[in-house]
Amino acid sequence: MNKIKSFLYLAAICLVGLASCEKEFVKIPTENTNFDGKANVRLANFVVNSNRNYVFVDNVLVSGTSSAYTSTYPNAPSFMTMNAGSRAILIKDTLATTTQVPINVSANLEAGSYYTIFTYDSIINAKSKLVKDVIVTPTDTTARLRFAHFAYSTAAIPNVDVYSTRRAQNIFTNVSLTSVTDFIPYASAISDTLYVRETGKTVNLAGINAFSAITKRSYTVIFRGSYRLTTGTAARTLSSFLSY
């Protein structure tokens, strides 16, 4: 009987000890799950030879990492969330010795809407265009595709077409410089080659091989880089990024 009592006594002490060691998890970061009154914004950086662009909203730094030429911030298809309404957006290289001019964007953002800020041209003449992304998820097996014309040149650049070898026809026609088309339905899960051409001509200026879209996703195909260059990192190029 004494052994049983001793065992029970020791067990009780162990239980009290375990209870006193129980840890309480406390979340230190403040998690914001309320997106009412918020807009969604992405930076797509196509300023030729830019290196370290950061995004400020109303003089507050909102980008955690820098954005270089051809990159998106955040990584596509993500967006930054910010308060809707009138916003002063500044995109700049923070290096003291940079020759890139700051890019100021005055934006009136609608709550619940999506936007892409396209930056383009050269670092000494950097510019921007704010485009509202009309996001529609297909109800069938298609994807969606749009085209953006942001090639760079000090001379005039012609309007362009985008030709699909799969369809054997132009899917975008007569697109002028700095224009961004609406999204169009596009077949998913197929391999296609896309070429950008001067409007009305058949000479390929640049292309994307083996382009294949995922069902129900939205893509942006962009003509960018220096129009007069055909080789090198700044050469004219047709590329794409996942929009949504």
Q: pLDDT tens digits, residue range 181-226?
A: 999 999 999 999 999 999 999 999 999 999 999 999 999 999 999 9
Domain residues of the chain, as ranges?
Answer: 36-133, 135-244
CATH for the 135-244 domain, from 2.60.40, 3.30.70, 1.10.1200, 3.30.450: 2.60.40
pLDDT at 18 over 80: no
pLDDT at 26 over 70: no
DSSP 20-85: HTPPPP---SPP----TTEEEEEEEE--BT---EEEEETTEE--SS-B-TT-EESSTT--EEEESE
Residue-level pLDDT at 10: 47
Q: Which residue has tokens 């921007």?
A: 128
Say how far apart CA 101 and CA 230 lie, in whole Å: 26
Of how many residues is the chain composed? Answer: 244
Q: Which residue has tokens 């077949």?
A: 187
Cis amide leading into 158 (omega within 30): no
Say how far apart CA 159 and CA 178 lie, in whole Å: 10
Instruction: Copy the structure tokens of residue 97.
Output: 């010795």
Q: Confidence class of residue 72 from pLDDT cuts 50, 70 and 90?
A: very high
Weakest mean pLDDT among 26-40, 76-90, 110-124, 138-152: 26-40
- pLDDT one-digit tens code per residue, 74-92: 999 999 999 999 999 999 9
Tell me the whole-structure pTM to 2 decimals.
0.84
Mean pLDDT for 118-132 is 98
- pLDDT one-digit tens code per residue, 140-149: 999 999 999 9
pLDDT above 90 covers a percentage of the chain that reads: 85
Instruction: Copy the structure tokens of residue 31.
Output: 């998690």
The whole-chain average pLDDT of the chain stands at 89
Q: In what order do the strands lie in the sheet with 143-152?
A: 184-186, 143-152, 218-226, 237-242
DSSP 8-state assignment for residue 18 = H
Longest dimension (CA), the chain: 102
| Residue with the larger pLDDT of the pair 6 and 45 | 45
Residue-level pLDDT at 36: 78
Mean pLDDT for 144-166 is 97
Q: Tabulate helix, strand, coil % of the chain (nearest 5).
A: 10, 45, 45
Domains 36-133 and 135-244 are alike in CATH topology: yes
* CA within 13 Å, CB half, 35: 11
pLDDT at 11 over 70: no
Q: Determine the topology of domain 36-133 in CATH.
A: Immunoglobulin-like (2.60.40)
Residue-level pLDDT at 144: 98
Nearest Cα to 79, choosing from 222, 242, 239, 220? 242
Residue-level pLDDT at 35: 59
pLDDT at 31 over 50: no
The letter for the amino acid at 210 is: A
Under 8 Å between Cβ of 200 and 186 = no
| Residue with the larger pLDDT of the pair 183 and 22 | 183
First to last CA, the chain: 72
Residues 6 or more apart in contact with residue 38 via CB below 8 angstroms? 81, 82, 83, 84, 111, 112
